[in-house]
Amino acid sequence: MLHKIFLRILLWGSTMLAVGLLLSTYLSHLNPGKYWITGFSGFFFPLLFPICLLLIPVLWWYKRKEQLLLCSIAVLCCIPAALVTWGVHIFSKNNIVKQPNSREFTLMTYNTSSMGLMAYKTDKDKEAAIYKVVSKNSPDILCMQEFYSNDKPDKEHHIDSLMQRGQYSYHFFTCDKTQWDTWFYGIALFSRYPIAAAAVIPCGESKVGSGSSFLQADLVLQGDTIRIFSVHLTSYMFKGEDYDNMKAPGGGGLVYKMRSTFQKRSAQALQLAALVAESPYPAIVCGDFNDTPVSFTYKTVSRNLQDVFLETGSGWGRTLSFLSPSLRIDYVLTQPSFRIHGSQVFPTHPSDHFPVMACLSLKKH
């Protein structure tokens, strides 16, 4: 009796999982700005793919031919999505240390969650962790999203502190939001290379500041000019009451907020992809996309670009410290004119996001 129940569960369960895997992969090709429900699809892929893969030998053992065929087809059809979810360079050389007397440079992207500021008080442990990882790895170019600095004498002037500690001669700050005249929020870029030009490109509205614009900067490296886009795409910005009001009508519901976020983020992705395509200089895109590799956002922005983690990394490449070990939402993407020598994600604790650093160089013409 129990054996029959198990086989029935295996039959229906494997069928539903295989169909779910296919939907999670291919619905993400649709623009959630038009079909908002598709915005949820990619979240489930990192769980469904390994389960379906593990089910294949079980189905073969129990001689469930139809389900075996369905699961096998689903897994094969979803291999391209798996290859943008997991890094497979387990044994290859991955070096983020610059070679002396070379044209290599390093770039780090880091969502700092307002430099540890919460409820207008700085978490000193988080703040110290940020400075420690930056000082230890000393990137030539440092891009920070959800950045905060304060001009008040008794507060944290992070712009000056980072320029001094990191030995950065140049910086640019979008300053998307100002509070009480001295509290500044936005996206910051610090560089040891000259900034030839920089611009704040509006991309929406955000109450927290970062997420209202893209930072665009042209840097001069050894006679060549490159363009960097540092971005923080719209996040859900959930609060405790959002979970309590999940079933609330109209704008109070959690699902409504997610739907609105999907629409805003898909529009930002299309805008960013167009800016990268129009760049007169070799371009790098970095920042917090707030979306997984199996998503419309990632597919749109990364088209014709190289993902530094996929080119050199292995495993999950997790960049968010909570919710799930599979969440890779912070990226460094480059146009093919760049050579990727290595990349690394630094599990920084305590920190909401983990920084991503890459060692790059421009290919010789």
What is the DSSP annotation of 277-312? HH-SS-EEEEEE-SS-SSSHHHHHHHTT-EEHHHHH
pLDDT score recorded for residue 251: 47
Distance separating alpha carbons of residues 278 and 286, to the nearest angstrom: 17
Rg (CA), the chain: 22
Written as six digits, the tokens of 130 are: 């940020």
109: left (phi over 0), alpha (psi -120 to 50) or beta: beta
pLDDT score recorded for residue 100: 81
pLDDT score recorded for residue 243: 43
Written as six digits, the tokens of 38 are: 């598709």
Stretches in the chain below the pLDDT threshold 70: 3, 208-210, 237-254, 365
pLDDT score recorded for residue 149: 95
pLDDT score recorded for residue 246: 47
Closest of 281, 231, 320 to residue 46, by C-alpha:
320
Closest of 98, 79, 61 to residue 22, by C-alpha:
79
Strand order in the sheet with 195-202: 195-202, 213-221, 224-232, 283-288, 330-334, 306-307
Q: pTM above 0.85?
A: yes
Contact 179, 253 (CB under 8 A): no
pLDDT score recorded for residue 248: 52
- For 160, half-sphere exposure in the C-beta direction (CA atoms, 13 angstrom radius) is 7
pLDDT score recorded for residue 63: 85
Structural domains in the chain plus CATH codes:
2-85 (no CATH), 105-362 (3.60.10.10)
Distance separating alpha carbons of residues 297 and 272, to the nearest angstrom: 10
pLDDT score recorded for residue 266: 94
